[in-house]
Amino acid sequence: MWDYNEKVREHFLHPRNVGEIEDADGIGEVGSMACGDALKLYIKIDESGRIKDAKFRTYGCASAIASSSALTEIIRGKTLEEALKVSNTDVVNYLGGLPEEKMHCSVMCREALEAAIADYRGEPIQSHEHESRLICECFGVTEARIRKVVAENNLKTVEDVTHYCKAGGGCGSCLDKIEDLIAKVLKKTVVKQNGSPTEEGKKLTNIQKIAMIQETITTEIRPALNKDGGDIELIDVDGNRVYVALRGTCANCPSAGVTLRYSVEQKLREFVSDEITVEEVKP
């Protein structure tokens, strides 16, 4: 029996905002019943761009129900930009804590929120994950998802990763891969413009930053674009502003803006610095 605090029990036994919104503006569906947890989040947006209603349907444990209930309470009244800043830690703090083994429920809520807002905006926010290699076959967890939870929650051990996204909690054949990913993410933790130290305690030089940007483009971004006949070229770096040129089929693609934001900028923020912005240089 899990040791749930009073607020978690309250949101489990009397969850807020359970149900569906028939004319929802955005719907985010994550998880699967086969893996033991699934969440479908509905949001309704008012004329000012704020979330005026949020409801959910979930299949899972007490933590999943309580976390979903908490999320809907947190995001009501927020703008989409404010809602996207809500982290899984915010959900946990709102509930006064969750058992470490149940942190994946709060992560699932964060993912459902991102998916619902992406659905409203018509943006494929998680399209890169479909192209990411599968690490944990037991729970269907990709490399991209593991990298994200490690970076966002500063995870240090394989056990931490299992708690936050279930990866490694099945047959155990992926444990070495997860450990390797943790090491890679932590190694690529870099300094922000405010001068915060890197993991090694050294400030990242501009030359190092440019090298990491080029490496990320070469290993993480270009291969996905090449699959569809596209390409990308790094033109210049000015502080945290990165200038690139899209080539091949990407150059005249009507979805070029989406590509820049989610296939380029998001990757650079993940692997280099979350302060990076990307701008396209056109001929």
Active site (annotated) includes residue 35: yes
- Tell me: do 84 and 107 sit in the same domain: yes
Secondary structure in 3-state letters for 34-55? HHCEEEEEEEEECCCCEEEEEE
Q: What is the pLDDT of residue 236?
A: 93
Q: Are 132 and 26 contained in the same domain?
A: no
pTM of the predicted protein model: 0.66
Assess whether 61 carries a catalytic annotation: no
Out of 35, 109, 165, 174, which one is annotated catalytic? 35
Report if residue 238 sits inside a domain.
yes
49, 73: one domain: yes
CA atoms of 10 and 175, how far apart (whole Å)? 36
SS3 234: strand
The last residue of a domain, from among 120, 150, 170: 120
In a domain, 22, yes or no: yes
45 and 109, same structural domain?
Answer: yes
State the pLDDT at residue 219. 84
Closest listed residue to residue 41, CA positions, set 6, 76, 93, 2: 76
63 lies in some domain? yes
Indicate if 146 and 238 belong to the same structural domain. no
Query: In terms of residue numbers, what domain contains 39?
Result: 6-120
**Which pLDDT does position 97 carry in this prediction?**
94
Phi-psi region of 150 (alpha: psi -120 to 50; beta: other; left: phi over 0): alpha
Main-chain phi, psi angles of 156, to 5 degrees: -120, -20
Low-confidence ranges of the chain (pLDDT < 70): 1-2, 33-36, 124-132, 187-204
Counting Cα atoms < 13 Å in the Cβ hemisphere of 142 gives 12
In the set 61, 105, 136, 253, the catalytic residue is: 105
Q: Are residues 166 and 218 in the same domain?
A: no
pLDDT recorded at residue 223: 84
User: Is 195 contained in some domain?
Assistant: no
State the pLDDT at residue 128.
44
Separation between Cα atoms, residue 59 and residue 80, nearest integer Å: 25
Question: pLDDT value at position 195?
Answer: 42
Q: How many domains does the chain have?
A: 3
Same structural domain, 114 and 171: no
Would residue 1 count as lying in a domain? no
| Domain membership flag for residue 220 | yes
Task: Write out the two tokens for 192.
Answer: 């922000």
Euclidean distance between CA atoms 76 and 69, whole angstroms? 11
Per-residue pLDDT, 279: 92
What CA–CA distance (Å, rounded) separates 171 from 42?
34
Task: Say what the pLDDT of residue 193 is.
Answer: 36
Query: Which pLDDT score is estimated for 41?
Result: 97
Same domain, 77 and 173: no
Closest CA to 54 of 62, 45, 63: 45
Q: Which residues of 10-27 are buried (b: 16+ CB within 10 A; e: fewer)?
A: ebbeebbbeeebeebbbb
